[in-house]
Amino acid sequence: MANSKFARYPSLAGRAVLVTGGSSGIGADLVQAFAEQGCRVAFTGRSAASAAQVLRACAGAAHEPVFLPCDMRDVAAVQAAVAAVEARLQGLHVLLNNAADDTRHEFLGLSSEGFDDAMAINLRAHFFAAQAAMPALVRGGGGSLINVGSTSWKNKVAGYAAYATCKSAMTGLTRSLAREFGAQRVRVNTLTPGWVMTAKQLEKWVDEAGEREMDACQCLPGRIQGVDVAQLALFLAADDSAMITAQEFVIDAGWT
């Protein structure tokens, strides 16, 4: 399963990694990329069927990934999942806060319940996953916490104000945690993808108008894939980025 096209990071071999929302989309590519590096990977998700596909894609890895069913909207479930990861993987070195839901909505019609639900998956889950994981990262002598953002708010995309609000908040969460836990050698960065051609995006949102917009706005030709995001995540998790923290890294082919 190893992809010889991309860099290998010896420092990642054997490290314990948790990917939230890893059963589909970008998360699935993150799981596979870290498994290919010899990491001990666990991932959360709500679909056992989707998780099974990820596990099949990781066949042949030095360590078979561990799937933990979890609704990331449930703080207690998030805390339990992180505790289970530390126990099963004998530590935790990397957390990728990836779980998200970009369901579209009209601003004027969004109820308080809808707003709370968007906050629960797109912001609260990240906050409390980081809170639960931080002691383990510190116990391991430092590690890497990567918050996955989005260029949606930078590009002023309409139709999901709650989601955009949450994703803009990744900057504040990252920079605050980087300062608070830097002395314990925990690095915290934001990884901000542009419009990534996941199965969900292709099915629901990418149309002829969207294709034209990408062609017009991206500096680079082509389309962004989950693997492009995963390769930068590997660098931010590895010792190669040992002195990088409190920063944002955008992968959008030059759109913003």
Which of these is catalytic: 34, 43, 67, 163?
Answer: 163
The neighbour count for residue 166, using CB atoms within 10 Å, is: 27
Distance CA 24, CA 163 (A): 18
Active site residue 160: no
- Planar angle of CA 125, 144, 128, nearest 5 degrees: 20
163: Cα within 13 Å, side-chain hemisphere: 18
Sole residue written with tokens 């996955």: 148
**Cα dihedral sign for 95, 101, 106, 112?**
negative
151: Cα within 13 Å, side-chain hemisphere: 18
List residues with catalytic annotation: 163
